[in-house]
Amino acid sequence: MGVFNVKDAISGKTARAFVTINGRVEELLYGKTGEATAEKNKVDVPVLGKTNTPQRAAGWKGTGTLTVYYVTSMFRELMINYIKTGEDFWFDLMMVNEQPGSAAGKQTIVLKNCNVDSLLLSKFDATSDDMLEEEIPFTFEDVDMPDMFNTI
């Protein structure tokens, strides 16, 4: 029986993230947290002779959230342009998890055609010692995994 080697655990602090928007790639050095979820859309499939209601997948939706330090105007500039012109914006988001020294290696996820749900336009907080941050919820249309963790 194998044992998990603690040196193979992946720290979220060693992750990197990049956004590609309008052909420009920007490393999210000001990123704090990020996550993305693919959720199956399921439909009921009633079957004669069964007392339960089986379900099957009938598509999926992708959602995610970025939490970043409040130090960039890039997303706000794009949102204000949308507000004024109706021209929406999409971006790709690449998240890389890699822990130096881990036998797990590296995993890269690329979320494609991300679209912001809502965006903070302005913020202040004179009551906190914490640095300002903002949460950016988004949806995405496709996903690739160019790098997968090694089997450990």
138 found inside a domain: yes
**Amino acid of residue 32:** K
Closest CA to 107 of 150, 49, 64: 150
What is the pLDDT at residue 136?
97
Domain membership of residue 134 (yes or no) is yes
Burial 48-66 (b: 16+ CB within 10 A, else e): eeeeeeeeeeeeeebebeb
Give yes or no for residue 1 having a pLDDT over 90: no
113-133 pLDDT, tens digit each? 999 999 999 999 999 999 999
Whether 68 shows a pLDDT value over 90: the answer reads yes
| Encoded tokens for 53 | 């209601």
pLDDT band at residue 19 using 50, 70 and 90 as cut-offs: very high
Residues 9-13 have a mean pLDDT of 94
Q: Tell whether 64 is covered by a domain.
A: yes
**Structural domain for 74, as ranges:** 11-41+56-147
Give the pLDDT confidence score for residue 109 in this predicted structure: 98
Q: Is the dihedral of CA 77, 79, 84, 86 positive or negative?
A: positive
C-alpha 129/C-alpha 152 separation (Å) is 42
Over 90: is that where the pLDDT of 2 sits? no
Q: Tell me, yes or no, whether 51 lies in a domain.
A: no
Q: What is the pLDDT of residues 70-123, one digit of tens each?
A: 999 999 999 999 999 999 999 999 999 999 999 999 999 999 999 999 999 999
Instruction: Give the separation between CA 97 and CA 59, rounded to whole angstroms.
Output: 27
What percent of the chain is modeled with pLDDT above 70? Answer: 100
Does 47 map to a domain?
Answer: no
Q: How many domains does one find in the chain?
A: 1
User: Which token pair is 21?
Assistant: 């928007």
Residue 88 sits in a domain of what CATH number? 2.30.110.40
Domain-located, residue 95: yes
Q: Within a domain: residue 152?
A: no
Residue 64: strand, helix, or coil: strand
